[in-house]
Structure 1
Amino acid sequence: MELDLTWILLGLPAAFALGWVASRLDLRQMRIANRQAPRAYFKGLNYLLNEQQDQAIDAFIEAVQNDPDTSELHFALGNLFRRRGEYDRAVRVHEHLISRGDLNTADRQRAQHGLALDFLKAGLLDRAEEALRKLEGTSYEGQARLARLAIYERSREWPEAANVARLLENSGEANFGVRMSHYQCEQAREAVQQGDSAKALAILSQTLRTTPDAPRPRILLGQLQLAQGQAQAAYDTLAPLFERSDVAAPLAAASLAKAAQAAQQTRPALKLLSTHYQRQPGMDVLEAITTLQANDPAGAATAQQHYLDHLQKQPSLMAATRWLTGQSSNAHPLPAPVQKALEQAIRPLARYRCAACGFEAKEHFWHCPGCQAWDSYPPRRIEEL
């Protein structure tokens, strides 16, 4: 068949025209999509600034659909899901980002950090720990270690917490010496609960040698020695707290008084407690003094005077109650309703309060059960703050 040049000449302009029309349609679609993506993005940003998170999420989802390759939109969407408590959707977003082959190293690490935060906020501690371990050697290493430290403290895995604290200290994050002494004290307490007092004594003795200025291991060691009948050793362990007027000394006042009585060290203990009381007046130390003076024939009268002197220094319902109770006698006892009312009135004042979150408790905590902060409980009761 002979080639008809006429048809070729006619077909070339037609093909060119069709190609031009198709390209114009593609460009038009691209312009429309590009206009829609920024519009949806800025709409979501406006909702976010107005704290309308639901509408912001809808706008960002629309933006992601228009431009699925934009990682920043995915990050914004994942963070919003996490803030709203939709952790499963946040996890899917961050896992999708990690699975993308075109993601650069910095964004991949950022997505891994976001995934770890999703698991952490959802309370999935095992999966959070696994995700945080993958951030070792990255720019998020310090943050990941601090998060792992919080996980181990929350789950009471003290050896693991000590290892991470040591890594943080070696990297120059902070000094974790006192924190690590708390971990040792927690292990000693667990040993006592399991009936292994020898192990507890060894742990506390070693901790005291490592951190001699930390009050908690000294107090726990003295109390454990006292419980085992080592009164003189307990006295020698606790006395330095009062010699240097440690702020935590009132927590050991009752134990020191018991150890002094058992070890025949009443006189030096009274002198030590009285000197500390002059520097830092407090009810715990005052009651330890009155306990030691109880065997003296004039002890009752002396105790009454101590409470009056304390009231002159600072108003105290606890001291006033002790004075009233001491003033009553067999002939003229304090009426039972009055005694009960006084005890009920002083009960809230005898509590300890966390300075970080305000959690109140009958006993002093070194690790707040409310906010998980360390050393946030002042060693003084609410009335004395």
Structure 2
Amino acid sequence: MELDLTWILLGLPTAFALGWIASRLDLRQMRIANRQAPRAYFKGLNHLLNEQQDQAIDAFIEAVQNDPDTSELHFALGNLFRRRGEYDRAVRVHEHLLSRADISQADRQRAQHGLALDYLKAGLLDRAEEALRKLEGTSYEGQARLARMAIYERSREWPEAAAVARLLEKSGEADFGTRLAHYQCEQAREEVQKGDSAKALDLLAQALQDHPRAARPRLLMGQLQLSQGQARAAYENLSVFFEHNDMAAPLAAASYAQAALACGLATQAGDLLKAHYQRQPCIDVLDAITTLEAHNTPSATTSEANALQRYLDHLQNHPSMMAASRWLNGARNEVGVLPAPVQKTLENATKPLARYRCAACGFEAKEHFWHCPGCQSWDSYPPRRVEEL
């Protein structure tokens, strides 16, 4: 069969024309897709700025579908899911990023950090810890260690928390000396609950040796020594609070008075407490003074009169419902028995003022906490009660 040159001459231009048309169609589709992706992206940003998270998520999902290789959109989507509490969807986004082989090392570390935060917010502490460990040696190492330390604190794994705190200290993040002393105190409390007071005292002694300026180990040691019948040792330990005008002195006042009475040093303790009270007036210290004076005064009538006068003097210089309540309780013989409604009203008005309040979150409690049960902050409770702040 002879080859017809006419068909060849006609076919070549036709094929060229069809190829050109196809390329133009592909280019048009690319332009449309490129226009759609930025439009969806900016639309999502607009919704995000207007705090319309549902619409922002829909827009970012549309953008990701148009351009699945854009890692920044995935990060934005994962963060939005986490903020909304949709942790399972946030995990899937960050796991998808980690499964990709085409992302940079920086983006891979960022995705690993995002995954750890997803688990942390979801309360999956074991998975969060595992994810955070993988960030060792990366630019997120410091943040990961802080998060791990918070996990160990929440789960009361004090030795593990201490190990991470020491790593943070070595890297120059901050000084965690006081925090380490708290960890040893927490371990000592656990040993007391187990009945091993000797081990608890060893832990507290080590804490004092490592961190001599920390107030909590000294206070707990004095209280534990007092409960173990070591009144003289407790007295010497707790005296430091009042000799050095320590801010934690109000917390030690009651135990110090008991230790002084137990070892026969009520007079010396009373003088030290009075000197401290003159510098830093406080109801707890005043209560300890009246307790010691009641022991040192032979006459009960004279002792009661002295206590009433002390509370009255305090009221004149520092108006206080707590001091007024104590004065009324001691002055029943003079003012008579208060009517029940009046007495109940006074007690109800005084109770909130006798609480301790966290300076970080405002959580109030009857007892003083070194570790706030509300916001998990350390040393956020002032040693003075609400009324005296």
Matched, 1:140 2:140: yes
Match of 1:315 in 2: 319
AA of the residue aligned to 1:345: A
Measure the CA separation in 2 of the matches of 1:222 and 1:232. 10
Whether the 8 Å contact between 1:325 and 1:334 is mirrored in structure 2 is no
2:224 aligned partner, one-letter code: L
Match in the other structure for 1:366: 370
TM-score (norm 2): 0.97
Seq. identity, %: 78
Does the CA contact (< 8 Å) of 1:241 and 1:248 recur in 2? Answer: yes
Residue type of the partner of 1:380? R
Structure 2 Cα separation of the partners of residues 321 and 21 of structure 1: 95
The alpha-carbon deviation at position 344 of structure 1 amounts to 2.1
* Residue 89 of structure 2: aligned partner: 89
Query: Quick check: 1:199 aligned with 2:199?
Result: yes
Alignment-derived partner of residue 286 in structure 2 = 286
More deviation, 233-242/338-347: 338-347
- Measured after TM superposition, the shift of residue 5 of structure 1 is 2.6
Q: Partners in 2 of 1:331 and 1:209 — Cα distance? A: 52
1:189-338 superposed matches below 5 A: 189-295=189-295, 296=297, 297=299, 298-329=302-333, 332-338=336-342
Query: d(CA) in 1 for partners of 2:211 and 2:46?
Result: 53
User: Higher mean Cα deviation, 291-300 or 203-212?
Assistant: 291-300
- Identify the residue that residue 157 of structure 2 maps to in structure 1: 157
Distance 1:210 1:36 in 2: 62
C-alpha deviation, 1:336, in angstroms:
4.2
User: Partner of 2:358 in structure 1?
Assistant: 354
Question: In structure 1, what is the Cα distance between the partners aligned to 2:310 and 2:203?
Answer: 39
Q: Give aligned pairs, total.
A: 385
Distance between the aligned counterparts of 1:103 and 1:332, measured in 2?
82
| SS across alignment from 1:347 | helix
Letter in 2 for 1:300: E
Residues in 1 aligned to 2:377 and 2:71: alpha-carbon distance in whole angstroms = 36
Distance 2:200 2:339 in 1: 46
Verify: 1:183 aligned to 2:183, yes or no: yes
Deviation at 1:331? Answer: 10
Where in structure 1 do 4 or more consecutive aligned residues deviate above 6 Å? none
1:18, CA displacement in angstroms? 1.0
In the aligned structure 2, how far is the partner of 1:330 from the partner of 1:276?
Answer: 30
Q: Deviations over 1:101-153 (max 9, x none)?
A: 10110000011111111111111111111111111100011111111111111
DSSP-derived class of the 1:339 partner: helix
Once residues 30 and 318 of structure 1 are traced to their aligned partners in structure 2, the CA distance between those partners, rounded to angstroms, is 77
The RMSD of aligned alpha carbons is: 1.2
Instruction: Measure the CA separation in 1 of the matches of 2:174 and 2:265.
Output: 41
CA deviation string 1:341-371 (max 9, x = no partner): 3222211111000011000000000000000
CA distance in 2, matches of 1:102, 1:32: 25
Contact 1:87 1:118 survives alignment (8 Å): yes
CA offsets per residue over residues 80-117 of structure 1, 9 Å max, x none? 11111111111100000000010110000011111111
